[in-house]
Amino acid sequence: GAGVSQSPSNKVTEKGKDVELRCDPISGHTALYWYRQSLGQGLEFLIYFQGNSAPDKSGLPSDRFSAERTGGSVSTLTIQRTQQEDSAVYLCASSLTMAPGTEAFFGQGTRLTVV
Amino acid sequence: LAKTTQPISMDSYEGQEVNITCSHNNIATNDYITWYQQFPSQGPRFIIQGYKTKVTNEVASLFIPADRKSSTLSLPRVSLSDTAVYYCLVGAYSGAGSYQLTFGKGTKLSVIP
Whether the CB of A109 is below 8 Å from some CB of chain B: the reply is yes
Length of chain A (residues): 115
- Chain B CB contacts of A45 under 8 Å are 100-103
Decide which of B98 and B33 is more confident: B33
pLDDT digits (tens, 9 = 90+) for A20-53: 999 999 999 999 999 999 887 788 889 999 899 9
Q: Are A47 and A67 in contact (CB under 8 A)?
A: yes
- What residues pair up with B109 in beta bridges, in sequence order? B10, B84
Check B103 against A56: CB less than 8 A apart. no
A39 touches chain B (CB under 8 A): no
**Beta strand B99-100 with B92-93: parallel, antiparallel or unpaired?**
antiparallel
Torsion sign (Cα): B73, A102, B97, A34:
positive
A54 φ, ψ (degrees, to nearest 5): -115, 95
Q: pLDDT value at position A103?
A: 83
Chain B residues within an 8 Å CB radius of A56: 94-96, 98, 100
- What's the pLDDT at B1? 54
User: Is B30 part of the contact surface with chain A (CB cutoff 8 Å)?
Assistant: yes
- At A69-110, the pLDDT tens digits run 998 899 999 999 999 999 999 999 998 887 767 788 999 999
3-class DSSP state for residue A37? strand
- Across B70-83, average pLDDT: 96
